[in-house]
Amino acid sequence: MLGDEFHVGVFEEGTPDLRTATARLTQLMIEGARIGADDHLLDVGCGTGGPAVYVAQSTGARVTGISTSSEGIQTGTERAASAGLSDRVSFEVRDGMDNGFPDGSFSRSWALESSLHMRNRDRLIAEMARVLEPGGRMTLCDFMLMRPLDVGDIRRLRTELTLLRDVYGDVQMEPLEEYRRLAEKHGLEVDQADDLTSSTRPTFEHWRENAERTREPVTALLGEEYWRRFVESCDILGRLWDDGLWGYGLLAASKPADA
């Protein structure tokens, strides 16, 4: 129902479909990270490996993807093998908040729509910065809080927020400025902080259309109730975007060359 990739898309004028839009988000991350053929990227929260394979194919870089999901790691490994990229793309079960790699192991690190699943955001950014070599770059994109929710918001949205948690898991979001603060706290120099809220908004209509088209197989696997809640979640996300409560951002930062 989410399409080929488990993340939102960036819709620009003339974007024909969700596949193109999700590829565009990955491309924006590549541009923010300034990835070249000589780089080695740590993909934190790599999902099922789609972006990692895309990075290797489009830039020639090496990629190591990590996730706490053994199923995702297996799927990513199979995907890299099918693309003939097993020599440049690998996947490991590791925790993004305590990844275990030596200092300076990578020239690039990123988290493509995975940070909201990691409760200790400070540890995540610290680890992504730690494993960078001097002159390396960290990039992330994710759902963001556009403003703090007050008591009235929480009361008004209690039912909707509970449904979103049931569908997508227990996630926690921060404002884009909080990511900037954490990056700078851990010695990085932020040079890009982009608000992608308006360009990602069409994603939810596409998710809803996918759900309508795949209703029969989804309900056979997950049940009618889950399918119904997913469709409702798409409408809720759209309203949160339209009300200026939630949105989407991309941040990129560099580690000083003399660090």
Two structure tokens written together for 34: 């300034």
Two structure tokens written together for 232: 């409702």
Q: What is the pLDDT of residues 166-201, one digit of tens each?
A: 999 888 889 999 999 999 999 999 999 999 999 999
CATH number at residue 95: 3.40.50.150
Q: Distance between CA atoms of 245 and 236, rounded to whole angstroms?
A: 11
> 125 in a domain, yes or no?
yes
> 2 in a domain, yes or no?
no
> 4 in a domain, yes or no?
no
Q: What is the DSSP string of the chain?
A: ---SSSS-----TT--SHHHHHHHHHHHHHHHHT--TT-EEEEET-TTSHHHHHHHHHH--EEEEEES-HHHHHHHHHHHHHTT-TTTEEEEE-BTTB--PPTT-EEEEEEES-GGG-S-HHHHHHHHHHTEEEEEEEEEEEEEESS---HHHHHHTHHHHHHHHHHH-S-----HHHHHHHHHHTT-EEEEEEE-HHHHTTHHHHHHHHHHHTHHHHHHHH-HHHHHHHHHHHHHHHHHHHTTSEEEEEEEEE--TT-
Cα pseudo-dihedral 35, 40, 46, 50, rounded to 10: 60
Q: What is the pLDDT of residues 113-132, one digit of tens each?
A: 999 999 899 999 999 999 99
> 7 in a domain, yes or no?
no
Residue span of the structural domain in which 207 resides: 18-254
Q: What is the pLDDT of residues 198-235, one digit of tens each?
A: 999 999 999 999 999 999 999 999 999 999 999 999 99
Q: Distance between CA atoms of 141 and 252, rounded to whole angstroms?
A: 9
Cα pseudo-dihedral 43, 49, 55, 57, rounded to 10: 150
Mean pLDDT (whole number) for 43-58: 95
**What pLDDT score does 3 carry?**
79
Average pLDDT, the chain: 95
> 10 in a domain, yes or no?
no
> 11 in a domain, yes or no?
no
Which residue in 45, 1, 6 sits closest to 231, CA to CA?
1
**What pLDDT score does 116 carry?**
92
Pairing of the two strands 62-67 and 40-44: parallel
> 217 in a domain, yes or no?
yes
- The number of domains in the chain is 1
Is the pLDDT at 96 greater than 90, yes or no?
yes
Please give the backbone phi and psi of residue 58, each rounded to the nearest 5 degrees, phi first: -90, -20
> 248 in a domain, yes or no?
yes
